[in-house]
Amino acid sequence: MVNAIGIDLGTSKCCVGVFRDGEVEVIPNEFENDTTPSFFAFTPVITIGEAAKNKLRTNPANTIFAALRLIGRKFKELVAQSDMKCLPFRVSFDKKGRPMIKEARPYSQKYYPEEVVAMLLVDLKLSAEIYLGTPVKDVVITVPADLNHCYHQAIRDAAQIAGLNVLRVVNAPAAAAIAHIVAMKDLHDQDHLVFDFGAGTLDVSIISGNANRWEVKSTVSNHHLGGEDVTNRLFDYLKVEFERKHGYAISNSASACIRLRAANEKKRLYPEEIVAMLLVRLKQSADAFLEADVKDVVITTSGQLDLRFRRAIFDAAEIAGLCYDLFQRIWGCLQKALDDACLENCEIDDAILLGGSSHIPVVQKMLSEYFVNAKLIKTLNTDEAAASGAAIQAALLSGDESEDIQGLLIPHVVPLPLGIQENEEMLVFIEEHVALPVTHSKLITATYDNDNKIVIEAFEGVIIIPEYNTLLGKIKFNKIPRLPDDDSNSTKVEVTFQVDVTGTITVSATDKSTGKTATLTIPDKNSRFSEEELLQMTESINEYISVEKIRRQNKAAKDRLTAYCNRTMKTVEENKRKRKALTPEDEQAYKKCKDALVWIDRNPRAEAKDFQRQLEEAH
């Protein structure tokens, strides 16, 4: 029985897959689509995915998206503050400084970003259970590479709230590369560059090897560089132009901004690379392009802003000019990935393009001109690749012994360097991308403070100045007795960092002069949420799950009955048109199906068992 799935949890959309019978199957949602938009809305009924996405224009203040940009952060973080300026919904904070998404009037409910992500995971989980016909508990989740421990823990918290057991959190580029390697089945060693340019993040990984042996040589990420940043830049330009031409400021009008973004949404690609970016916040995949600008403005009697649109196009040069600094940051990530892998750009064999924003023609042109010997791999389904790789990981971690995927388990690694502050600098104990479990110790000289205490601060991050990294916690030795003949202001302390296979970080420090030891465990003691808080959120979401599960089951049974009846009646009608003689059995089947469809019209809210009974009678 298959009950382990892989989920690609994206800023703009999600995808879920399962590996069974030797291949990956992408699981469709209730609308038969392979991807689900990462949207959540209160209307006041909770809606998720496509249904929530459709609410953005009519109810922007209560339609939530980009929750993954807030998850695992503090409200006052500069990055979080920057993101919140572009959101049409309200974000407040709790007593501990954690961001909370607030419903607009007349509603008053507040949700943590982790709760919103949990709702998305529940939606994917229910789709998987209906597709597989079995309960789903275990999951492998992909996230952008090099995200810190707080983010990983927040993802695990969201999964726990959703009733899922996280087997492993893996980085999306590596998962996508696994899907590519399995599809190619190439036994020749090659250097693959994975360029994952999504809505909210850019991940660049270099992976070397073949279908039997591979390794991640380097990974470089920018967690706030994505198609949404390009979209925001072009949107800001149009907004300023609109205000300059018409003298009407819409900067603070959420509904007007959404309407401006949503105007004339179309999907078109121009071979001459004359493209336009569609300025719709929820259309964060950059394979849709803007073909709208303001023609004139009419202020209605009700004071509402009515936007009339005409066609306007950005050409490649204009996009490159407006987004020059963003594209320079892309170059920086590419060069660092090559330097870390000790490779030149001419040594890359192929560049695997992932993420909707990798479809931007300007970006593709940049890559093809820089990696002169590399083939741009565009055939890999960008929406499904990471989910496919995650499904393979879920199968391997669940004991699947399929020959085609053996040896392709992504090692669980430390995402970012771990260390302490020493002499105003970051002293690294464990480097990034080291496989777990891992333990490393160092003997340091610690200085007593004025209260005769020693404080050791543990950090996570790549910056040499500790205060710009993430503070994991502090170890304190209180009231340490000094030796009678010790006039120094310092002592020797052995500090040990240990990370187990689950990613739990333990930092211990032993004062060599006294033998006293103090320990800091992350996330057990420093988790963003207590077990009581997680339990309360789980109970709250379980109420939604119980109702939604019944609705999904009823809908699935209704759809099966409807599909069977339509298929049977179509076959009989085709035989009749071909002047084939109808057997009594055909006529009886036609009548039963017709009666069943009439019954459906009269009983649209019937239960699954009733639809199933009608299906059995129609056979």
- Residue 259: name the closest of 284, 294, 234, 303 by CA: 294
**What number of other Cβ atoms are within 10 A of residue 486's Cβ?**
11
Residue 269, pLDDT > 60, answer no
Strand 110-111 relative to strand 46-48, pairing: unpaired
Q: What is the pLDDT of residue 246?
A: 61
Residue 312, pLDDT > 60, answer no
Tokens, residue 134:
């079995």
Name which of 23-37, 205-219, 363-377 the model is least confident about: 205-219
Q: E-assigned strands of 465-584?
A: 470-477, 490-499, 505-511, 517-522
Sign of the torsion formed by the C-alpha atoms of 390, 391, 392 and 396: positive
Name which of 81-85, 141-145, 596-600 the model is least confident about: 81-85
Q: How far is CA 355 from the centre of its chain?
A: 11
Q: What is the pLDDT of residue 188?
A: 65
- The backbone torsions φ and ψ at residue 587, rounded to the nearest 5 degrees and listed phi first, read -65, -40
* Domains, the chain: 4-185+381-405 (3.30.420.40), 418-522 (2.60.34.10), 546-618 (1.20.1270.10)
Mean pLDDT of 64-75: 86
Give SS3 for 233.
helix
Residue 173, pLDDT > 60, answer yes
Q: How far is CA 500 from the centre of its chain?
A: 24
What pLDDT band is residue 487 in, cutting at 50, 70 and 90? low
Q: What is the pLDDT of residue 266?
A: 33
Rounded Cα gap, residues 382 and 173, in angstroms: 11
Tokens, residue 39:
């949207």
Do 91 and 100 contact (CB within 8 A), yes or no?
A: yes
Name which of 24-33, 120-129, 354-363, 364-373 the model is least confident about: 354-363
Name which of 40-49, 254-263, 579-588 the model is least confident about: 254-263
Q: What is the pLDDT of residue 348?
A: 94
**Alpha helices (H) in 4-94, listed in sequence order:** 50-53, 78-84
Name which of 289-293, 355-359, 442-446, 537-541 the model is least confident about: 289-293
What residues have CB less than 8 Å from 504, skipping those under 6 apart? 521, 522, 523, 524
What one-character DSSP code corresponds to residue 97?
A: S
What pLDDT band is residue 263 in, cutting at 50, 70 and 90? very low
Tokens, residue 207:
């992976």
Sign of the torsion formed by the C-alpha atoms of 357, 175, 65 and 56: positive
Q: Which residue has the tokens 């204009």?
A: 318
Name which of 200-209, 334-343, 549-558, 594-603 the model is least confident about: 200-209
Residue that wins the pLDDT comparison between 486 and 201:
201
Q: What is the pLDDT of residue 181?
A: 77
Name which of 237-246, 323-332, 343-352, 394-403 the model is least confident about: 237-246
To the nearest whole number, what is the mean pLDDT of the chain?
80
Q: What is the pLDDT of residue 481?
A: 60
Q: What is the pLDDT of residue 226?
A: 83
Does the reported pTM lie above 0.85? no
Q: What is the pLDDT of residue 227?
A: 79
Rounded Cα gap, residues 219 and 433, in angstroms: 8
Tokens, residue 482:
């000094």
Mean pLDDT of 466-489: 74
